[in-house]
Amino acid sequence: MSPRALGVDIAACADRIEALQKRDGTIPWIEAGVWDPWNHGESVMALAVAGRERAVEAGLDALAELQEADGGWTGELGAGVPMDETGERIAPPETPVTARDTNFTGYAAVTVLRAALALDAPRLIARHEAMVTRALDWVAARQCEAGDIVWRDPDPGQPLEDVDSLRAGNASLYKSLEAGLRIADALGRRKPDWARTRAGIARAFQHEPERFDRKGIDRTNYAMDWYYPILTGAISGPAAAKRMDAGWNTFVVADLGCRCVAEEPWITTAETAELAMTCLTLGRREAARTLIADLASLARGGEGYWMGWQFELGMIWPKERPGWTAAAVVLAADALYQIAPGSDFLVRHAPADAWLRRGAESRAY
C-alpha cells in the first residue's frame, strides 16, 4: 500500500503549503494570517519531503531573518486566535496574542535537520548552524533545576519557577535538542551543555513528572500531553507502551481518528497524523496505517486537509486548511512509507544519555 492508497497526495499537500508561502518565505497558518516558528517549521519539513527545494530554502532563510538577537522568536499563539462571527473561520486579530515560546524556538533544530536530510543537502546545516546554536542556547538558559524547561521567556525580573512548564512542549524540546546534537556531530562540534539539558528533561519526565502540573492546571485532557512524550522518545520502552494503551480509548475514535481534547467530539487531522507517528515509534505500523487512512475523508482534492471534524454535528470545523495540517499528514506518510531520506528521524530517538557517554557519537548523515 502507498500514500496514495491511503488518500495522501504528497504533491497536493505541498502545493497547498506553497500557495500559503509569502514572498518573504514565511508560511502562515492560513490565507488570513497567523504565524509562529513551530508551525512554519512543520510546513518547511513537509516541503522538503516533497522535494520543493526552493521553497524550503526560502522558508529556512525567513526563519533565520526573523530570529531575534538573543536567539528566540516571537510567535502568535493559536489559543489566542478568535473565530469570526459565524464561528466557522479563524479570524486573526489586528493585535495578536504572542509569546516567546521555548518550544517554538527549539523546533528550529528539527526543522533544519529534517529538511537537510530529506533533500540530502548538508549545506543547509552549515548555512543555518548559527541560527540553531542561538536557538538552543536560548532554550537551555530557561531550564529549571529539576530539568523541566519553562514554556515561555519570563517577564523581566520574573523567576523561572513562576512560569509553568508544559509536558508536550518539553517532550518536543527533548527531540529538538537531539536534532541540535546531531547537527553538532555533523559539523564536528561538541555541545555537552545541550546533552545535559536534554538529559535533564528526561530526568524530569522519569522522576519528577509533577513539574509539569505544578501550577495546578490539568492538561491531561489534551491529546498532545498524552502522546508527545512517546512520540519524541522522552518516555520510552515499557513505560511508553503502557502510557499509549492507557490513553487510547480516551482519545481515539474508531474509523475517525484522534480527538484534540478528550471531552470534545472533535477529531483533528494534525493530532491524528502525529498519533500515527507515535504508533510508529512503538513499532505499531498497522495502527499507524489505519489512523492515516482514517483521514482520507478530510482531504480536499488538491488543496490540503481540513483542520478537523466535529462528529456529533457531522461537519467540518473549522472551515480552514492550515499549511501545518497538511504538513503533519505528509510527515506521517513519510515516516510510514520512507518517501524521503531520513524518514525515520521523527520516530526513532537516541537514548537520553547518548551524548553523555564518553566517546559517544551520533552522526546526522
3-state SS record for 148-169: CECCECCCCCCCHHHCCCCHHH
What is the Cα–Cα distance from 224 to 267, expressed in whole angstroms? 13
Residue 143: what pLDDT? 98
Q: Which amino acid type is present at position 21?
A: Q
What is the Cα–Cα distance from 61 to 108, expressed in whole angstroms? 11
Residue 297 confidence (pLDDT) above 90? yes
Residue 6: what pLDDT? 67
Residue 266 confidence (pLDDT) above 90? yes
Mean pLDDT of the chain: 95
Q: Taking residues 96-110, report their average pLDDT.
A: 98
Residue 275 confidence (pLDDT) above 50? yes
Whether residue 318 has a cis bond before it, omega within 30° of 0: yes
Number of domains present in the structure of the chain: 1
What is the Cα–Cα distance from 86 to 65, expressed in whole angstroms? 36
What is the Cα–Cα distance from 141 to 102, expressed in whole angstroms? 10
What is the Cα–Cα distance from 248 to 254, expressed in whole angstroms? 10
- Tens digit of each residue's pLDDT (9 = 90 or more) over 319-359: 999 999 999 999 999 999 999 999 999 999 999 999 998 55
Residues 6+ apart with CB under 8 A from 44: 27, 55, 56, 59, 60, 63, 111, 115
Range of 47's domain? 4-337
How many H helices and E strands in the chain? 12, 7
Residue 362 confidence (pLDDT) above 50? no
Residue 363 confidence (pLDDT) above 80? no
| Residue 200 placed within a domain | yes
| Residue 357 placed within a domain | no
Residues in the chain: 365
**Orientation of helix 223-231 relative to helix 237-251, angle to 10°:** 150
| Residue 365 placed within a domain | no
| Residue 323 placed within a domain | yes
- Tens digit of each residue's pLDDT (9 = 90 or more) over 137-178: 999 999 999 999 999 999 999 999 999 999 999 999 999 999
3-state SS assignment for residue 99: strand
Residue 302: what pLDDT? 75
Residues 6+ apart with CB under 8 A from 80: 96, 97
Residue 357: what pLDDT? 81
Q: What is the CATH number of the domain that holds 33?
A: 1.50.10.20
Burial grade of 286 (CB within 10 A; 0-12, 13-18, 19 or more):
exposed
Q: Which helix (H) or strand (E) holds 3?
A: none
Residue 218: what pLDDT? 87
Residue 215: what pLDDT? 84
Closest by CA to 174, choosing from 208, 199, 154, is 199
* Half-sphere exposure for 354 (CA within 13 Å, toward CB): 20
Q: Taking residues 268-276, report their average pLDDT.
A: 98
- Tens digit of each residue's pLDDT (9 = 90 or more) over 49-69: 999 999 999 999 999 999 999
Residue 3 confidence (pLDDT) above 90? no
Q: Which amino acid type is present at position 199?
A: A
Residue 315: what pLDDT? 97
Q: Taking residues 236-254, report their average pLDDT.
A: 98
| Residue 278 placed within a domain | yes
Using CA atoms, how far residue 89 sits from 33, 101, 260, 317, 320, in Å, is 12, 25, 18, 8, 6
